[in-house]
C-alpha cells in the first residue's frame, strides 16, 4: 500500500511539473507614443528667404530684383552667319599649266558682308569660327592661300594656307576642310580705301605647286574653289551705324519666385513699390515704348495689366558715352516707380503672381545716322531692363496655404501589431494669425498615399497688440490639436517615409493689416499615439 501510494504521488508531481512548464500564448494591448516630426515655419516658408530684408525695428520687407531676358543684343546688333564663295575656272578653251603657274589673280578684292541695315566699320570678336571647304579638280598639287587682310589678331592678318592633293581622276576632285577659331580677331569693315562699310578685304590665290614638275592640260571643267563660312560671330565690341529699326521685345514673361511656396488663398497688401529701370549702355539713341506690363498667376488663372501713364508712351533715351574705364561706357538711365498712389501695382501683386509679363518696342536711332557711323556697343553692356520690388511684409491673409516636407521613420514599429492611432500636433504660434493644419502621407517616390486633417484643429494666434495702425504678435500661444486615425490611415502612416505639412493661415484682421517680424515663427511638434498589441 505504501509502495503504490508513493508511486501515485510521484506521477501526480510529474504531471504537475510538466503542465506547469507548458505556457499558452498571451497578448495584451498598450499605448505607445512615437515622436513623428518637428517643423518650424517662418516668413521664409511664405517667401524665399534670400529676398527678405530686416528693418532696424526687426520688421521685414521683401526686396526682389529681376531682369528682362528678352532684350537680346544679338538680335538688335548681331552679326549674322554668311557664306563666301570663291571659284577659279578657265574663261575659255583649254590651256597647259606648269609648276608654279598661278591660276587666280594675286591682288586683293573687296567682299561685301550682308549686314543691312547695320553699317559696321569696326568690330572685335569674342567668339566665332571660319570653316573653309577647298576643292581641287586639277590633277596637280595646288597651293591655296585664303586671306582676310582686314581681320587681324595681334597684328597678323587672318590667313589659311594649304596644299591640295591632285584630283585622283578627271571626274573626281580632292577635298580639304579646315576650321579657324576667330576669337580675339579685330575686323575692319571699311575696305581698301577706308571709305566703305560692311566690307572685308580678301585674297584668294591658287598656284600649281612649284615642286610638282611637269605640264598639265586643263579645261573649263577644271576648277579650284573655296567655300568660306563665317559662323557664330559674337562681337565683344562693334562700331558703325546700327540703323533706324523698330525692334520688338516680347511679348514675353519673366518668372518671379517670392510667392512660389504659396499654394492657395488670398492676400491683402498694405503697400508696394516697384521700380522699372532701363539702362542704355549702347552708344546709340533709342526710342523706348512700354506697350504693356502685366502680372499672371497660374494658381488662380488671373492676369492683371498695369495701369500707369507709361503704358503706350514712347520715351527717348540718349546714347551712352565712352568711359575709358570699367564699365567701358557710361549708361543713360531712365526709371519709373509704380506704387499705391499712381498705379494698380498693389492689386497686381495681391494675386500672388508667378510671372511678370512685358511687351516693349525699341526703335534705334530715331533721328537717323547722327553719329556719322560712330554708334558703338560693348555687348556685355547693352540695353538692360530690370524690375525692383520693395514690399513691406504688412498684409492680411485669407486661408493662405504653405507647404513643407519632413522625413519620418517608423522602421522600429511593427505595423501588423498596431491597431489604430492618434496624431497629436503641439504648436507654439508666434504669428499674429490663426493657422490650421493638414498632413499628407508620402511614400518613397514622394507620391501622396493618404491625408489627415484636423477639424477644426485651430492653432491659435499669438496675442495681438497694435502699434502705428498695424497688428503684431505680442508673445506666442500654445495649442494642441489631436487628429484621430482610422485603421487605413494608421497603416498608411506607418508605411510613409515623408510627411507633407500644409499649414493654412488666416489673419482675421481684414481690412486691417498685420506686421511681420523676423522673430515670428510657428513651431510644430507631431507625435503619434498608437494602440500597440504586444504578443508573448
Q: How many CA atoms lie within 13 A of 1 on its CB side?
A: 0
Closest CA to 486 of 400, 387, 418: 418
* CA angle (281, 286, 288) in 5-degree steps: 105
Domain definitions of the chain by residue range? 27-59+397-535, 78-241, 243-392
pLDDT of residue 20: 41
Q: Do domains 27-59+397-535 and 78-241 have the same CATH topology?
A: yes
Closest CA to 221 of 182, 293, 164, 173: 173
CATH architecture of structural domain 27-59+397-535 = Sandwich (2.60)
Report the 10 Å Cβ neighbour count for 247: 17
CATH for 78-241 is: 2.60.120
Whose cell is 564663295? That residue is: 85
pLDDT of residue 382: 87
3-class SS of residue 49: helix
What burial letters (b/e) apply to 394-426, b meaning 16+ CB within 10 Å? bbbbeebebebebebebeebeeeebeebbbbbe
Are the CB atoms for 431 and 461 separated by under 8 Å?
yes
Q: Report d(CA 325, CA 349) in Å as an integer.
A: 40
Q: 434-442 and 418-429: which strand pairing?
A: unpaired
pLDDT of residue 1: 45
pLDDT tens track, the chain, 536 positions: 444 344 333 333 333 333 344 444 444 444 567 777 777 777 766 665 556 777 777 777 778 888 887 665 555 666 777 777 777 665 556 888 888 999 888 889 898 888 888 899 999 999 999 999 999 999 999 999 999 999 999 999 999 999 999 999 888 999 999 999 999 999 999 999 999 999 999 998 999 999 999 998 888 888 888 888 988 888 999 999 998 989 898 899 988 877 776 666 667 777 889 999 999 999 999 999 999 999 999 888 899 999 999 999 999 999 999 998 989 999 999 999 999 999 999 999 888 888 999 999 999 999 999 999 999 999 888 898 999 988 887 776 666 776 677 788 777 676 666 777 888 888 898 888 888 778 888 888 888 888 787 666 788 888 988 887 788 888 899 998 888 888 888 888 888 888 887 777 777 666 677 887 878 888 888 888 877 665 55
Give pTM, 2 decimals.
0.70
Amino acid at each position: 500500500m505504501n509502495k503504490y501510494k508513493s508511486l501515485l504521488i510521484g506521477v501526480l508531481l510529474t504531471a504537475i511539473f510538466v503542465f506547469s512548464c507548458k505556457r499558452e500564448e498571451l497578448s495584451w494591448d498598450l499605448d505607445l507614443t512615437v515622436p513623428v516630426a518637428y517643423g518650424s515655419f517662418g516668413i521664409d516658408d511664405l517667401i524665399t528667404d534670400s529676398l527678405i530684408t530686416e528693418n532696424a525695428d526687426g520688421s521685414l520687407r521683401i526686396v526682389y530684383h529681376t531682369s528682362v531676358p528678352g532684350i537680346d543684343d544679338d538680335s538688335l546688333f548681331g552679326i549674322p552667319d554668311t557664306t563666301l564663295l570663291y571659284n577659279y575656272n578657265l574663261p575659255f578653251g583649254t590651256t597647259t599649266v606648269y609648276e608654279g603657274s598661278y591660276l587666280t589673280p594675286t591682288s586683293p578684292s573687296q567682299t561685301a558682308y550682308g549686314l543691312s541695315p547695320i553699317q559696321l566699320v569696326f568690330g572685335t570678336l569674342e567668339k566665332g569660327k571660319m570653316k573653309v571647304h577647298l576643292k581641287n579638280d586639277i590633277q596637280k598639287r595646288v597651293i591655296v592661300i585664303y586671306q582676310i587682310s582686314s581681320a587681324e589678331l595681334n597684328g597678323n592678318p587672318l590667313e589659311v594656307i594649304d596644299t591640295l592633293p591632285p584630283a585622283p581622276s578627271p571626274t573626281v576632285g580632292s577635298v580639304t576642310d579646315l576650321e579657324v577659331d576667330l576669337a580675339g580677331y579685330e575686323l575692319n569693315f571699311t575696305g581698301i580705301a577706308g571709305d566703305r562699310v560692311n566690307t572685308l578685304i580678301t585674297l584668294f590665290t591658287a598656284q600649281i605647286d612649284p615642286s610638282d614638275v611637269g605640264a598639265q592640260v586643263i579645261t573649263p571643267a577644271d576648277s579650284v574653289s573655296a567655300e568660306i563660312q563665317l559662323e557664330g560671330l559674337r562681337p565683344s565690341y562693334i562700331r558703325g551705324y546700327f540703323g533706324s529699326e523698330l525692334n520688338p521685345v516680347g511679348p514675353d514673361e519673366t518668372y518671379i519666385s517670392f510667392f512660389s511656396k504659396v499654394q492657395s488663398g488670398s492676400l491683402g497688401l498694405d503697400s508696394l513699390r516697384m521700380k522699372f529701370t532701363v539702362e542704355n549702355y549702347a552708344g546709340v539713341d533709342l526710342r523706348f515704348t512700354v506697350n504693356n506690363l502685366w502680372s499672371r498667376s497660374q494658381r488662380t488663372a488671373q492676369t492683371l495689366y498695369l495701369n500707369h501713364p507709361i503704358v503706350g508712351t514712347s520715351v527717348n533715351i540718349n546714347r551712352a558715352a565712352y568711359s575709358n574705364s570699367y564699365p567701358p561706357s557710361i549708361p543713360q538711365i531712365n526709371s519709373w516707380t509704380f506704387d499705391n498712389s499712381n498705379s494698380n501695382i498693389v492689386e497686381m501683386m495681391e494675386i500672388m503672381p508667378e510671372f511678370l509679363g512685358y511687351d516693349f518696342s525699341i526703335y534705334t536711332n530715331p533721328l537717323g545716322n547722327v553719329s556719322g557711323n560712330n554708334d558703338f556697343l560693348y555687348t556685355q553692356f547693352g540695353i538692360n531692363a530690370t524690375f525692383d520690388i520693395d514690399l513691406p511684409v504688412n498684409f492680411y491673409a485669407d486661408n493662405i496655404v504653405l507647404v513643407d516636407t519632413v522625413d519620418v521613420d517608423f522602421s522600429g514599429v511593427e505595423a501588423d501589431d498596431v491597431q489604430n492611432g492618434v496624431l497629436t500636433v503641439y504648436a507654439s504660434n508666434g504669428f499674429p494669425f490663426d493657422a490650421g493644419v493638414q498632413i499628407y502621407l508620402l511614400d518613397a517616390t514622394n507620391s501622396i498615399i493618404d491625408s489627415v486633417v484636423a477639424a477644426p484643429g485651430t492653432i491659435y494666434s499669438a496675442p495681438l497688440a497694435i502699434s502705428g495702425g498695424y497688428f503684431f504678435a505680442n508673445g506666442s500661444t500654445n495649442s494642441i490639436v489631436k487628429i484621430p486615425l482610422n485603421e487605413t490611415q494608421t497603416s498608411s502612416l506607418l508605411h510613409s517615409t515623408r510627411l507633407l505639412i500644409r499649414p493654412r493661415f488666416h489673419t482675421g484682421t481684414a481690412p486691417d493689416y498685420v506686421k511681420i517680424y523676423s522673430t515670428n515663427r510657428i513651431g510644430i511638434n507631431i507625435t503619434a499615439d498608437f494602440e500597440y498589441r504586444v504578443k508573448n
